[in-house]
Structure 1
Amino acid sequence: MAGSALATPSGGGLNLFNFAEQKIKMLHLTWFAFFLTFVIWFAHAPLLIHIKEALALTDAQIKALLILNVAMTIPARIVVGMLVDRYGPRIMYSLLLFISALLCIGFAFSQTYDALALFRFLLGFVGAGFVVGIRLVGEWFPHHQVGTAEGIYGGWGNFGSAAAAMTLPLLALSFGGPDGWRYAIGTVGVISAVYALVFYKYARNTPKGSMYFKPKKTGAMVVSSWGAMWGLILMNIPMHLALGMLAWRLSPAGVELFSTNMMYVLWGVLLLLFIVQTQQTWRVNVEHLRAGVPEADKYSFKQVGILNIAYFATFGSELAVVSMLPLYFLETFEGISAVKAGLLASGFAFMNLVSRPMGGWFSDKFGRRKSMLILIGGLAAGYFLMGLMDSHWWIPLAVLATMACSFFVQAGEGAVFAIVPLIKRSMTGQIAGMAGAYGNVGAVVYLTVLSYVSYSMFFYVIAASALVGLVAVMFLDDPKGHITEVGEDGTVHRINVG
């Protein structure tokens, strides 16, 4: 049996300014790639008023664009997760950045609403970039640093949405004229295309001398027990239901982008896709499950399911709350302007810079399961506190409660992805893709709930669902010892995970 431990047993923090270390260079190269994907993904948001005026759009059409922006991301994260495991993060991130750059430029210079809507739908693809970097960072950092590194990658990359909000209106203003917004968004596309080439030139899938492990089969997630296969099929259902909800919200029952008959057609397509996906899952897994799975290929799918539930509550609630919080402050507290409401709400997303890295660091330092329990428990308490807020609260106290809640939300996200690379190295992309997709499913569900209930009840619903996640995390196993991977030459490699 050949050994190829990719982690060292010693501890130690990360010096982010030590550019002599190749892994530090790789971390900076990767988080900036993710940062750019989020700038592209949310470039339209701060410029919606200009887009609305330029194309004479209705409020319903604007709402449809916001829904279309997240629709593609759910399936894209699943597909890109499979592709990154197969072809490696270097080529996949480069391709994703370049394709997204073309779509971004297409959106910027769309002359009709139909073109605008099409490009906005396709740009949901860029949200899959997150998955690629999770695999790459997991390859470069040992188990005692991987949580911190993944947290920095996720937190600093997520800040791209806030950076877009802060810089693109000024950039549009500097270009001037009625097409300033087009040039601002187009500039983002050009930067992304250039960085795709930079990333391809300098990124490497693994440290020198390390092996990049690939799954033995592609087309569906490979599992190591019959129970895991049925669990995988069940966990695919919510993703299709979430897409069905989005189709419903785009029908006359929502923003009237298309007819009721078209909604039924889309539902039929989603049902067909689920059947095909289930058949593919069976085809990929049935042979090796019947033959018996070698010990070196086994992993616990239970871990994957628990992390999906946790990310549903963490990232799902973040996406939902960030989109509604400015309006919440505006409508709850009398006498504040829309600009001030936006600034007060921005603290929730701004916390990503420190919260997500802290969640990863907690996981590295104090244990994976324990950190998850504390952070998701804090998340539940935070949302319960936000449910108690009303117009009688002192505004600084309300902002403080919001930021405290956001710390637990984003730190919880960091803790989730501190575990993802430690389950099955050759399938990290697929595991990250599924967990990431569940985050988007959570956002769809929470925002759908918001359309039927009050703001306070909305926060209570999130708190209650977080308690479900807390129960699930109680069954999480701390990664310990080693996981095994089999190289293409048949040699078995042991990777230290705790």
Structure 2
Amino acid sequence: MSDQQQALAAGRGRNLALATLAFAVSFWAWNVIAPLGVRYADQLDLSSGQKSLLVATPVLVGSVGRILAGALTDRYGGRVMFTVLLLISAPFVLLVAFAGDQGSYALLLVFGFFLGIAGTTFAVGIPFVNAWFDKPRRGFATGVFGAGMGGTALSAFFTPRFVDWFGYGATHGIVAAVLVAVAALSWIGMRDSPAWAPSSDSVVPKLVAAAKLPVTWQLSFLYAVAFGGFVAFSTYLPTYLKDVYDFDLSAAGTRTAGFAVAAVAARPLGGVLSDKVGPKVITAVSFAGTVVMAGVVALQPEPEIPAGASFVLLAIFLGLGTGSIFAWVAQLAPAERVGSVTGIVGAAGGLGGFFPPLVMGATYNEQDHSYTIGLGLLMLVALAALVFSQWGISRSRGGSPSASRP
């Protein structure tokens, strides 16, 4: 075994664990507004559209910012980028609390916009953990790292409870302090893989080169549906459960956390299964299941067990897809472009989560307490993604038509 192989074997577990922790904490911060959406709606007398915009706004920067974060990771490495992004995010958590205390919807939107910086860490972690693992185990590695999206579950479960236990301002102070602590831990404990080499290319040409790869946009579409569906439900589900089932803030948060945990648990499974049978098969299962379960949810099954089981199954199918699609990225993206491709694909996933809450708010039938139209649109989009995943993906590294593993 070479010195590099020994170093990889010795460091991959620790660095994967730290990256997953940093990702989870940053996603908690990124999602800190959504679990309190009902509170803000009552406090500020928000319409359905205003409420939807508030919970969706952090998703916007967290999505688009991944393009730049991924390209910068190719140049500076994951250790630097995780540390910097966590530190930058902390003040905006506190500023969101300030806006809430002031009762200012405009300030909540502004600071929520910048809070989206916390959501860019996904594009840092994928190339970071990719470099620590050999190709046959990258689906596993990206799947485990992707489980850090469980930070949304932590936020959904703990944020409203922390507000009850410690108060509104103190809750945001705790989240900000955790961001700073994990930033310090990342700087001290993380190391970039010895197999990684910093890119000296300028950021813009790297992004242009990644954007020219057909596979970048093909996988972006699929990830926009799978991860976008997860983000949309994770941010909007408290509102949905209040409107349809009349759950209070804590009860809705608990059930949203259950949804997120199910999706998080399914993500590494999607990566592992993709290593074994190929991401194409697992992606097909994901989208087919999403079509079916979105239809079931639209029928408004009775609480608790029928509705709960329906949402959990929907979360599992979406989680499988988030794992399988990034296993596909690891297979098809050129090694020197993984960070840039990840940034673009990750941005598409986040943008996929930005629009559905707005659509759900716009199509909500207040008289019937129904989101049938929005869920019907999800079914159509997931069906289109299913068809495209089986017949529309270029099958070789970089997107040329030569044969490769499906």
2:379 equivalent to 1:463: yes
- The Cα shift of 1:20 comes to 8.3
Residue 79 of structure 2 is matched in structure 1 by 90
Q: TM-score, normalised by structure 2?
A: 0.83
Residue of structure 1 in register with 2:191 after alignment: 204
1:339 to partner: Cα distance:
5.0
Alpha-carbon distance, 1:414 to partner: 0.7
User: Counterpart amino acid of 2:158?
Assistant: T
Structure 1 unpaired stretches of 5+: 9-18, 230-300, 484-496
Q: TM-score, normalised by structure 1?
A: 0.69
Task: Map 1:191-340 to 2 at 5 A.
Answer: 191-206=178-193, 208=194, 210-212=195-197, 214=199, 216-220=201-205, 221-223=207-209, 229=212, 301-332=213-244, 340=251
Q: Partners of 2:18 and 2:346 in 1: how far apart? A: 21
How far apart, CA to CA, are the structure 2 residues paired with 1:394 and 1:59?
27
Determine which structure has more spread, i.e. the larger CA radius of gyration: 1
Q: What amino acid is the match of 1:314? A: A
* 1:219 counterpart SS class: helix
Determine if the alignment matches structure 1 residue 439 to structure 2 residue 356: no
> 1:139 aligns to what?
131
Change (3 A) 1:87 1:430: same
Higher helix share: 2
Shift in alpha-carbon separation, 1:211–1:171, aligned structure 2, 3 A: closer
Q: What is the deviation of 1:70? A: 2.2
For the aligned residue pairs, the C-alpha RMSD in angstroms reads 3.3
Question: Using a 3 Å threshold, how does the CA distance of structure 1 residues 222 and 35 change in structure 2: closer, same or farther?
Answer: same
| Deviation readout 1:156-183 (Å, 9 max, x if unpaired) | x1111221232234434443xxxx2112
Alpha-carbon distance in 2 for matches of 1:418, 1:330: 36
Are the structure 2 counterparts of residues 421 and 103 from structure 1 closer, same or farther at C-alpha, using a change threshold of 3 Å?
Answer: same
**Whole-Å separation in 2 of the counterparts to 1:20 and 1:223:** 32
**Which residue number corresponds to residue 150 of structure 2?**
159
Instruction: Select the residue among 395, 399, 410 that pairs with 2:308.
Output: 399
Deviation at 1:416, TM superposition (A): 1.1
Paired AA for residue 326 in structure 2? F
In the alignment, residue 338 of structure 2 is paired with which amino acid? T
Give 1:124 shift: 0.9
Contact 1:138 1:421 in 2 (8 A): yes
Q: Distance in 2 between matches of 1:446 and 1:105?
A: 27
Label 1:199 to 1:174 Cα distance change in 2 as closer, same or farther (>3 A): same
Q: Take 1:218 and 1:37, find their aligned partners in 2: how far apart are those partners?
A: 24
Equivalent of 1:190, from 168, 171, 177?
177
Spell out, residue by residue over 1:356-381, the C-alpha distance to the aligned partner (whole angstroms, 9 max, x if none).
01111111111122222222222223
Q: Post-superposition shift, 1:432?
A: 1.4
What is the alpha-carbon distance in structure 2 between the residues aligned to residue 120 and residue 36 of structure 1? Answer: 17
Secondary structure, aligned partner of 1:319: helix
Secondary structure at the aligned position of 2:203 is classed as coil
One-letter code aligned to 1:223: A
Whether the 8 Å CA contact 2:38–2:238 is kept in 1: the answer is no
- Name the stretch that deviates more: 365-374 or 452-461: 452-461
Letter in 2 for 1:364: D
> Does the 8 A contact of 2:290 with 2:318 survive in 1?
yes
SS of aligned partner of 1:79: helix
CA contact (8 A) 2:284 2:389 kept: yes
Paired letter, 1:461: L
AA partner of residue 459 (structure 1): L
Tell me the SS of whatever aligns to 1:94. Answer: helix
Provide closer, same or farther for how the CA distance between residues 62 and 440 of structure 1 changes in structure 2, counting only shifts above 3 A. same
Residue-by-residue CA offset, 1:286-331 (whole Å, 9 max, x unaligned): xxxxxxxxxxxxxxx2222221111111111222233443444455
Is it true that 1:412 corresponds to 2:321 in the alignment?
yes
> Structure 1 CA distance, aligned partners of 2:93 and 2:310?
36
1:362 corresponding residue in structure 2: 273
Q: 2:261 aligns to what? A: 350
TM-fit CA distance, 1:46: 3.5
Paired letter, 1:426? E
Q: CA deviation at 1:147?
A: 1.0
Q: 1:122 aligns with which of 114, 118, 129?
A: 114
Count of residue correspondences: 385
Which amino acid in the other structure matches residue 380 of structure 2?
A: A
In the TM superposition, what whole-angstrom CA distance separates every residue of 1:407-439 from its partner, at most 9, and x where no partner exists?
A: 111110011111223312222222111112112
- Partner AA of 2:159 in structure 1: L
- Among 141, 148, 151, the residue aligned to 2:140: 148
Aligned-partner Cα distance in 1 for 2:202–2:249: 52
Partners of 2:239 and 2:107 in 1: CA distance: 28
The residue type paired with residue 382 of structure 2 is A
> Deviation at 1:102?
2.3
1:427 match: 337
Paired letter, 1:308: S
| Structure 1 residue 136, shift from structure 2 partner | 0.5
Question: Could you tell me which amino acid in structure 2 is paired with residue 190 of structure 1?
Answer: A
Q: Using the TM superposition, give the Cα deviation of residue 466 of structure 1 relative to its aligned residue in structure 2, in angstroms.
A: 1.4
Cα gap change, 1:438 to 1:7, in 2 (>3 Å): farther
- Of all paired residues, the percent bearing the same amino acid is 27
Deviation at 1:401, TM superposition (A): 2.2
Could you list the per-position Cα deviations for residues 375-398 of structure 1 after superposition, in whole angstroms to 9, with x for gaps in the alignment? Answer: 2222223223333x235x574223
Supply the AA of the counterpart residue of 1:193.
V
- Whether the 8 Å CA contact 1:7–1:143 is kept in 2: the answer is no
